[in-house]
Structure 1
Amino acid sequence: MLPTFWTRLVVAGALLATGATCALRSAPDAVLVIRKGGTYTGRYQSTSSGQACIRIATTEPVVLEGCELRGPGLLIDARAGGANLTVRNCRGYGEQPTTDNQARGRFLEINDGTHLLAERNYLDHTSGLLVYRWQGAGTAAQTITVRANQARNIDGRYRNGGGALVSFLQLNQVHGVEHIDISWNEVVNTPNHSLVEDNINLHNSSGTARSPLLVHHNYIQGAYPLPATAPKFTGSGITTDGDASSALTTTAYVEAYQNTVVSTCNAGMNIAAGHHNYFHHNRIITSGLLPDGSRLPATYAGTAVFNGYEKPGTVFFGNRMRSNTIGFVSWGRQSPYPNRHDLSTDACAPCTDTRHLPGPITLQTEAQEHASWQAQLRQAGQQVGLITSLARN
């Protein structure tokens, strides 16, 4: 990495810090284009859905530290291929789209990257993070880590009604990559002020038998249709997904454990694709109620293991659910108690040793889950979101 010289310059209203001014460019599609490795900070704001705040145009290591990013479009664009990117202690604010039939931009999109560390960032009304394919070797230095971020209201809504299927984090076609770690993230979505599909969606993506793709100790609250009282919804907290036709390209070797998933319509955690996926010791709690006490009609089941894409036994096999704690209200159903559907009927044969919380499951029950997760965070010596002393520009 190039040495960093913290020279403060005001350029087009943005506060910049970089080791070489030749590394910085502006372009119609980005407020700032980074063409050389180094550490960068500052405030960058775009005004168009078609303009990113920052575009990475180098394969040299780039660190974005303490940045503030605002705009209706993509905040960090690392789609050129080969990006070696660390994003730490940055704030990202999605704004109203300037184009119809388009959601607010993602906080970060990286295609064919070689290294991604996204940690202790704050996301507000963005379309989350997308990792599409991977060029890195899967070593500890060339893998994907998304850790200790704080997100509020993942928002796929269009300005003219309707919306896109977005996630806090989606991995798409990331095949056989070792050392992936998705942990200690806190995601809170508010009904009617957000639109998220699966908060964490693992689509045709995999770790390995030796080094599973780890999803652990995350707190996920909220996944609702729009409006929240609509009768149908297909999202969830965490889901393995994908229509790949071979064992090598489907979602596989995912281990999800010690996650807390609260107040999600449709489902809490699903294994809907792939092989050798193992979900265990998670907590899935849904009261089936909005904050004002009215019912959510689109809740379905706490968890399920099902062949969502009807693939052959050579693609969908070897999946397990074990020792999860569930209290999932689904009005009118009875599994195992009235108005409950903890385990999806006829879709949970591999679900064993489930602990069914006694009723009633209430809004207070949900609130206690958040408090309990925060206590785990402190016990583990973890900190989520911005480090205030580093976030000041």
Structure 2
Amino acid sequence: MPTARRWTTAFALLLLPLTVPQGSNVLAQGNAASIRYSGPITITRGGVYRGNWQSLDPKQAAVTIKTSEPVTIEDSNIRSKGTLILSNFQRARVTVRRTRGEALNPGRPLPEYRYPGRFLHLEEFNSAVVENNELIGTSGMYFRDWRGHPERGETVKILRNRARNIDGRYSTGPNTFSTEKVRLVQFVQFNAVRHLPGAEIAWNEVINEPGKSRPEENISIFLSSGTAQSPILIHDNYIQGAYPARPSDKDYSGGGMMLGDGKGRTLRDAAGYVRAYHNVIIGTSNQGIAISAGHDIQAYENRILSSGYMPSGQPIPSQNVGLYVWDMHGDKQRGTFFNNSARDNLVAWQTPLRGANTKSNWWFPDCPKEWRQKDGRTSKGCTGNRTLPGRVTQTMERQEHANWLARVKAAGLKLGR
């Protein structure tokens, strides 16, 4: 396996502009088939790397980073039957920008439990900046155990990326996936990323199609936290679609955003200090935005809508609730579930299988209108949320996407490459 050289490209790089035809949820393939790929690489020195790399072995990442020196991967094309970019236990400092990543079907039998590769998989890392990339059919990004130095500005930034079909279905052979057995994957998951200042997940566009994807939550904050002075900011994202591997199934636990998850036995370990605002969540079935654990987590001024129908016009059997705050693990008794709020959101979550004009907008079994602190102060809980009159239509869902794209343009931002 070759070791990458800095500032080199093994084959000519073909830049692929992102175009999404009207009414299409699939990233344009452009001239992807004409790209000439080299084999997997291992990066052992810091620097800027550009190239086209692939791995046809599900056990081998296309790009492996084995250095703590700052590494930038830019203007590249990566595809893999396994992980696309991997760094474990290196205290990596990674920037990935303007790169197209495509997961290939591992093509292995079900007993091997191979699923589409992560675009980026980091464990025991120092920092990550992921911006203006395109993710196609991957199992998203996974971050575990941040080890960075806040005084050096080491944090996590995930900005202006476009993703299609986050997929955790296990392969059952060439060109086929299981409709029953899955890996729980996300567009972004933080796992044990604790006390992280400066983190931001913003202006990303994530679209999942039924039968071509299987995310759990699209964004998951699992036993992870920001700080009181610098919470994790999740804002201005567009997330559309979340379905079970067999879209006609009723049982499904995924959805749009899980802002606090995992049994928090101590305050140090619990999810906390997260703010999610100005996001648009469309048709993510089981839930739009949820808080099931943690403390000091706020969801406010988001737009959470669903017609309750798939693009085909079939009702979504796993449709549940738009917004909830629920102490799933009984963490109030441990003193790790408090000060969570869901306020001033627009929620219209239609459930057509329960009745033609029925909505299940929110559920707040563990969220009062106000939280009272030990020192007598109060903070907002779950209040000020509103809904829309009448039925939510698929035309209204499409308009939400158009409105969000107009906001992107007005902000002077560019998505993807």
TM-score between the two structures when normalised by the length of structure 2: 0.84
Is the partner of 1:276 in helix, strand or coil? strand
Task: State the AA in 2 paired with 1:117.
Answer: V
Equivalent pair of 2:307/2:350 in contact (CA under 8 Å): yes
Of residues 348, 351, 356, the one that matches 1:330 is 351
Equivalents in 2 of 1:175, 1:45: separation in Å? 33
Task: State the AA in 1 paired with 2:163.
Answer: A
Q: What percent of counterpart residues are identical?
A: 37
User: CA distance change for structure 1 residues 306 and 40 in 2, over 3 Å: closer, same or farther?
Assistant: same
Superposed CA RMSD:
1.8
Paired position in structure 2 for 1:260: 280
1:321 paired to 2:342: yes
Equivalent pair of 2:226/2:273 in contact (CA under 8 Å): yes
Paired position in structure 1 for 2:416: 385
Equivalents in 2 of 1:331, 1:7: separation in Å? 55
Paired position in structure 2 for 1:35: 44
Paired position in structure 2 for 1:245: 265
Kindly provide the CA deviation profile for residues 155-202 of structure 1, in whole angstroms up to 9, marking residues without a partner as x: 111122121110000000011110001100000000111000000000
* Runs of 4+ deviating beyond 6 Å: none
Paired position in structure 1 for 2:400: 369
1:138 paired to 2:159: no
Equivalent pair of 1:137/1:177 in contact (CA under 8 Å): no
Equivalent pair of 1:297/1:331 in contact (CA under 8 Å): no
Larger mean CA deviation between 307-316 and 268-277 belongs to 307-316
Counting only pairs closer than 5 Å after superposition, residues 53-64 of structure 1 correspond to structure 2 as 53-64=62-73
Is the partner of 2:96 in helix, strand or coil? strand
Equivalents in 2 of 1:330, 1:140: separation in Å? 48
Q: Return the offset for 1:346.
A: 3.9
User: CA distance change for structure 1 residues 357 and 175 in 2, over 3 Å: closer, same or farther?
Assistant: same
Equivalents in 2 of 1:382, 1:293: separation in Å? 33
Paired position in structure 1 for 2:94: 85
Task: State the AA in 2 paired with 1:276.
Answer: D
Task: State the AA in 2 paired with 1:93.
Answer: E
Equivalents in 1 of 2:135, 2:293: separation in Å? 29
Of residues 241, 246, 252, the one that matches 1:233 is 252
Paired position in structure 2 for 1:356: 387
Task: State the AA in 1 paired with 2:298.
Answer: Y
Counting only pairs closer than 5 Å after superposition, residues 103-114 of structure 1 correspond to structure 2 as 103-114=115-126
Equivalent pair of 1:127/1:155 in contact (CA under 8 Å): yes
Equivalents in 1 of 2:278, 2:84: separation in Å? 30
Kindly provide the CA deviation profile for residues 103-124 of structure 1, in whole angstroms up to 9, marking residues without a partner as x: 1110001111111100000000
- Tell me the matched-pair count: 364
Q: Return the offset for 1:236.
A: 1.2
Counting only pairs closer than 5 Å after superposition, residues 91-106 of structure 1 correspond to structure 2 as 91-99=100-108, 100=110, 101-106=113-118
Q: Return the offset for 1:322.
A: 0.6
Task: State the AA in 2 paired with 1:175.
Answer: R
Equivalents in 2 of 1:330, 1:213: separation in Å? 32
1:150 paired to 2:162: yes
Equivalent pair of 1:178/1:211 in contact (CA under 8 Å): yes
Counting only pairs closer than 5 Å after superposition, residues 57-76 of structure 1 correspond to structure 2 as 57-76=66-85
Is the partner of 1:351 in helix, strand or coil? coil
Equivalent pair of 2:326/2:365 in contact (CA under 8 Å): no
Kindly provide the CA deviation profile for residues 300-356 of structure 1, in whole angstroms up to 9, marking residues without a partner as x: 10010001112225111110111000110123558xx94100012645544211120
Of residues 212, 221, 225, the one that matches 1:202 is 221
1:300 paired to 2:309: no
Task: State the AA in 2 paired with 1:127.
Answer: S
Is the partner of 1:377 in helix, strand or coil? helix
Q: Return the offset for 1:292.
A: 1.9
Equivalents in 1 of 2:68, 2:41: separation in Å? 16
Of residues 183, 191, 197, the one that matches 1:164 is 183
1:278 paired to 2:278: no
User: CA distance change for structure 1 residues 7 and 310 in 2, over 3 Å: closer, same or farther?
Assistant: closer
Is the partner of 2:226 in helix, strand or coil? coil
Identify unmatched segments of 5+ residues in structure 2. Answer: 14-38, 173-177, 369-380
Q: Return the offset for 1:6.
A: 4.1
User: CA distance change for structure 1 residues 233 and 348 in 2, over 3 Å: closer, same or farther?
Assistant: farther
Equivalents in 1 of 2:348, 2:390: separation in Å? 8
Equivalent pair of 1:81/1:113 in contact (CA under 8 Å): yes
Equivalent pair of 1:328/1:340 in contact (CA under 8 Å): yes
User: CA distance change for structure 1 residues 8 and 116 in 2, over 3 Å: closer, same or farther?
Assistant: closer
Equivalents in 2 of 1:114, 1:296: separation in Å? 41
Task: State the AA in 2 paired with 1:268.
Answer: G
